[in-house]
Amino acid sequence: MKHRATWTAAAVILLAAFAVGQAPDQYLDVFVVQVRPEKRADFDAISKKMVAANRQNKGDEWLAMETVYGTMNRVTLVSMRQSYGDTEKAGDAFYAALQKSMGKAGADKAFQEFNTCLETSWSELRKRRWDLSSNAPADGAALAKLTGESRWLRTSIIHVKPGRGPELEELLKEVKAAREKNSPDVTTLVSQTVAGREGTIYYVTTFEKSMAGFDSIAPLPKVLGEEAYAHYLKTGSEIVENTETVINRFLPEISNPPAEVMAAAPDYWSPKPVVAKAASPKKSVVNASETAKEKEEVKK
C-alpha cells in the first residue's frame, strides 16, 4: 500500500528484514494512519481491494498491524527496502498494480476513498540498526520465519535529546551484550528514523507468537544486573526526552507479505474468505388439532 504521490506508504513499529542475508544498509518504509472510528469498516474494505490488486499484479509488498495498547484505530504498514531507490520503485509498482486491476480512474477513486477514512497520516523511513539489535536471526530466511510466525509486537519508542544519540547507542550496545549473554532466546530489533520525523528516534521491538510470550522475557534489571541497570537509568534520564511503549498485532487480511513470510504460516497470512452458508428452508410446523378442524370445516 504505497503510493508516493497521493498516498505515501505503512505502531510505530519495526519489522524483520525480508532479504536473503542482512545487507549493510536496510530500510523500513513505514506508513502510519489514524483511521476515523466511524470509517474503520470502509478503510478495511478499501485496503482489501488494494491488497488483492497488488497480489494479482505483482505490486508492492507490506505487512499491516494495528495498535492494541496505545492510540486506538492506528494502523501501520511496513515494507522492507534495500535502498532509497527501492522506495520509488515500490511506489511505482504499487500504483501500476492498482491501475492494471482498476484502471486509472478506479485507482484514483480508491485513493480518494482511502483518504476520506483518515484523520491523519505520516510516512517515515527507518534504517535497520543490526549493530544495536540483540540475538538477530542469522540470515534473511530465519528473520522472515520469525516474522511469519509472530502475531504480536511490542515496541519501545525512544526520543533522544539533540546530539545525544551516540550516548543512547552505547546504552543499547550494553543491553545487546547482556541480552545475548543472559537471554539468548530473546530477539530485539532496533531501527532509527532517518527521514519523516522530527528529532532523533530509535525503535526497539520484540516479536511474539502470543501475548503470553511477553511474560517470559526477563526485565532489564535482571538482564543487566543491579549496578549496570542503575547506570542505564541515570544516563537515560540525562539523554532521553521521552519514551513510549506500544503493543501491536498483525493484520493479515490487509497485508501483502513477501513469499518467505507467507510460507512460515500460509493459513494465517492468506486467510480463506468466509463463505456464508445458505439458510435452510424453514419447515412449517403444523398444529395437528388445527388441521383436524380445517378438515371438519371442509366436510361441512
CA distance linking residue 20 with residue 143, whole number of Å = 9
Residue at 3 is within a domain: no
What percent of the chain has pLDDT above 90?
A: 79
CA distance linking residue 207 with residue 2, whole number of Å = 24
Query: What is the tally of structural domains in the chain?
Result: 1
Residues 6 or more apart in contact with residue 277 via CB below 8 angstroms: none
Q: Which amino acid is at 99?
A: Q
Residue at 78 is within a domain: yes
Q: So what's the pLDDT on residue 19? A: 39
Query: Coil, strand or helix: which one is 135?
Result: coil
Residue at 147 is within a domain: yes
Q: So what's the pLDDT on residue 271? A: 73
Residue at 5 is within a domain: no
The sign of the CA dihedral 101, 103, 109, 115 is positive
Q: Is the pLDDT of residue 79 over 50?
A: yes
Contact 111, 7 (CB under 8 A): yes
Residue at 6 is within a domain: no
Residue at 291 is within a domain: no
Q: What is the tens place of the pLDDT at every residue in 153-172?
A: 999 999 999 999 999 999 99
Q: Nearest 5°: CA angle at 53, between 52 and 54?
A: 95
Q: Is the pLDDT of residue 24 over 60?
A: no
Contact 153, 205 (CB under 8 A): yes
**Residue among 9, 30, 28 nearest 18 (CA):** 28
Longest dimension (CA), the chain: 104
Q: So what's the pLDDT on residue 131? A: 96
What percent of the chain has pLDDT above 70?
A: 82
**Residue among 131, 193, 130, 125 nearest 157 (CA):** 193
Three-class HEC string of 63-111 = EEEEEEECCCCEEEEEEEECCHHHHHHHHHHHHHHHHHHHHHHHHHHHH
Residue at 297 is within a domain: no
Residue at 12 is within a domain: no
Q: What is the tens place of the pLDDT at every residue in 190-243?
A: 999 999 999 999 999 999 999 999 999 999 999 999 999 999 999 999 999 999
Q: Is the pLDDT of residue 68 over 70?
A: yes
Strand 188-195 with 118-128, pairing:
antiparallel
Residue-range definition of the domain harbouring residue 118: 27-269
Whole-structure pTM value: 0.83
CATH number of the domain that residue 263 is part of: 3.30.70.100
List phi, psi (to 5°) of 229: -70, -40
Residue 136 grid coordinates: 538477530
Q: What is the mean pLDDT of the chain?
A: 87
Q: Is the pLDDT of residue 13 over 80?
A: no
Q: How confident is the model at residue 10 (pLDDT cuts 50, 70, 90)?
A: very low
